[in-house]
Amino acid sequence: MDKLQIRPIRPEDNPFLAGVIRETFREFHLDKPGTAFYDEALDDLYSAFQAPGSRYHVGLIDGQIAGGGGIYPSAGLPPSICELVKMYLVPSMRGKGLGSLLLDECLQSARRSGYRHVYIETMPEFGKAISLYEKLGFRHLDGAMGNTGHYTCTVWMLKDL
């Protein structure tokens, strides 16, 4: 049985997490402009998630970093809505329950921070993640909210907390 843990991000996590995110985009052939692949904050997630109203969680399996995910008050969103961001797992660590655990922790963080809704932008290629979001009560939207700069995303979802 794998031991799953969640902890806050640390500065020393930055290189590993940036690598996981970029490799995930390469895996799905989505390493192109308008995606998180090119986000300026990617190489220093720790600093980016020191912003008020944000939180980033690192998931570990048997003590090894397996990925992470966070919430962020993205540009252009109303104060009651945060965005679920940078949630990616190492391919060999998927399917072990860590994604669900990370997502639950993000939703709890959003509630504790006073948000009433969580917004997601993603792409159809991330179908397994979309299925998880749907199971947890995210509903599809007809268009984007806010101004995230991820103009290649074509799937937008929202969950009431």
Domains of the chain listed by start with CATH number: 4-160 (3.40.630.30)
Q: How many CB atoms lie within 10 A of CB 99?
A: 21
Q: How many CA atoms lie within 13 A of 106 on its CB side?
A: 34
Does the reported pTM lie above 0.95?
Answer: no
Residue 52 exposed, middle or buried by CB count within 10 Å (0-12, 13-18, 19+): exposed
| pLDDT of res. 1 | 66
What's the pLDDT score for residue 70? 97
| Residue 23 pLDDT | 93
Q: Over its length of 161 residues, how does the chain's per-residue pLDDT go in tens digits?
A: 679 999 999 999 999 999 999 999 899 998 888 778 878 888 999 999 999 999 999 999 999 999 999 999 999 999 999 999 999 999 988 989 899 999 999 999 999 999 999 999 999 999 989 999 999 999 999 999 988 878 889 999 999 99
* pLDDT tens per residue, range 132-144: 999 999 999 999 9
